[in-house]
Every structure is written in C-alpha cells, then in structure tokens.
C-alpha cells in the first residue's frame, strides 16, 4: 500500500479520499489500510475524523449528526466531543484522528 510513502516514526498520514466525497455537514466512512475512519466536514468548513464504528455498540458513526461541539451516533444517540472523543452521555471514549485537506485530498493522521 501507499501507506509507507508518508511514514514517520510515530504517526502516519494517509490519504483516504477526496474532499468532495464528503458533502458539507455530513460524514463518510473510509478505510486507511486496515483502519476504518469516519471523516466529517462541518458546514463551517472544518474537518474531523474519528474511528468509524461507535464505541458503544458499533453504530455507523459516519451516519451520525454533528455540530461544532459533538458527533451524535445514529443508533442510540450518544454524543461524543470532537475535542477529545469523550462521550457527553456516558459511553466511549471515541478515537479521534487529525485530518486535513491538501489539494482536495483528505489526509488522516493515524
């Protein structure tokens, strides 16, 4: 895999898809090697990435709803803070990854 190209000793930045794959306000799931990630593009343009399945009971987080503060899982509506992945209602924590856009590519740091 092209994973190795950007490898640094501790972290890896992986291209998972294109910005236009994720409509404004929504989330989409991607694979980065054998890690599943969900990438969210908020209406204010900011990007967030988390593990793809919910720590509570495996819900598909890319189908969740978002605001500037939290991601809400579609299955049992637990909320998770973007800032640290902590749950606002008792589950979790959720893994959050750094993500950025470069030339239209979505780059997630694993």
Partner 1 sequence: MAAVLGGRPEGVTTVPLGPDAELDPRPRVVVVGNGMAGARLVEELLERGGGDQFAITVFGEEPHGTYNRIMLSPVLAGETHEDEIVLNSHDWYADNGIELRSGVAVTRVDLPAKTVHGDDGTVTGYDHLVLATGSSSFVPPMTGVHRDDGSLLPGVVGFRTIDDTRVMLAAATEHERAVVVGGGLLGLEAARALQGQGMQVDLLHAAGHLMNAQLDADAGAILKTSVEALGITVHCGLTATEVIGPDRVRGVVLADGRAVDAGLLVLAAGIRPRTEVAVRSGLEVQRGIVVDDQLRTEDPDVYAVGECAQHRGTVYGLVSPVWEQARVLADVLTGTDPTAEYHGSRTATKLKVAGVDVATMGVTGPERDDDEFLVISEPRRGVHLSVVVRDDRLVGATLLGDTSKVAYLTQAFDRGSPLPARRIELLVDLSDGKAEVGVAELPADSQVCNCNGVSKAAICEAVAGGCTSVGAVMDRTRAGKGCGSCKGLVGQIVEWAADGDVTEDPAADWYVPGIPLAKPALIAAVREQDLRSVSAVFAALAPAGAEDARSKMALTSLLKTVWGSDFVRENDATFINDRVHANIQRDGTFSVVPQMKGGVTSVAQLRTIADVAEKYEVPMIKVTGGQRIDLLGVRKEDLPGMWADLGMPSGYAYGKSFRTVKTCVGSDFCRFGLDDSTGLGIDLETRFQGIESPAKMKLAVVGCPRNCAEAYVKDVGVVAVGEGRWEVYVGGAAGASVRKGDLLATVTGRDAVVQLAGRFMQYYRENAHWLERTYDFVPRVGLEKIQAVLLEDSEGIVADLDAGMQRSIDAYTDPWAADLAEPATPGQFRTSLPLVDLPLVPVR
- Cα 72 to chain centroid distance, Å, stands at 13
Task: Please list every residue from 78 through 97 that binds partner 1, using CB under 8 A.
Answer: 79, 89-90
Q: What's the token pair of residue 104?
A: 């239209």
Say whether residue 42 binds ligand FES (CB under 6 A): no
Contact 47, 30 (CB under 8 A): no
Rounded Cα distance, 46 and 53, in Å: 21
Rounded Cα distance, 13 and 73, in Å: 26
68 versus 98: smaller Cβ distance to partner 1: 68
27 versus 55: smaller Cβ distance to partner 1: 27
Question: Residue from 49, 73, 94, 106 that binds ligand FES (CB under 6 A)?
Answer: 73
Say whether residue 82 binds ligand FES (CB under 6 A): no
State the residues that interact with ligand FES by CB under 6 A: 54, 56-59, 73, 75-76, 78
């Amino acid at each position: 895999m092209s994973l190795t190209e950007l490898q640094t000793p501790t972290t890896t930045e992986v291209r998972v898809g294109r910005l236009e794959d994720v409509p404004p306000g929504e989330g989409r799931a991607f694979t980065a090697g054998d890690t599943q990630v969900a990438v969210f593009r908020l209406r204010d343009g900011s990007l967030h990435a988390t593990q793809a399945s919910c720590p509570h009971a495996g819900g598909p987080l890319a189908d969740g709803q978002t605001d500037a503060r939290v991601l809400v899982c579609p299955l049992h509506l637990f909320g998770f803070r973007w800032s640290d992945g902590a749950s606002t209602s008792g589950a979790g924590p959720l893994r959050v990854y750094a993500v950025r856009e470069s030339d239209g590519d979505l780059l997630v740091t694993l």
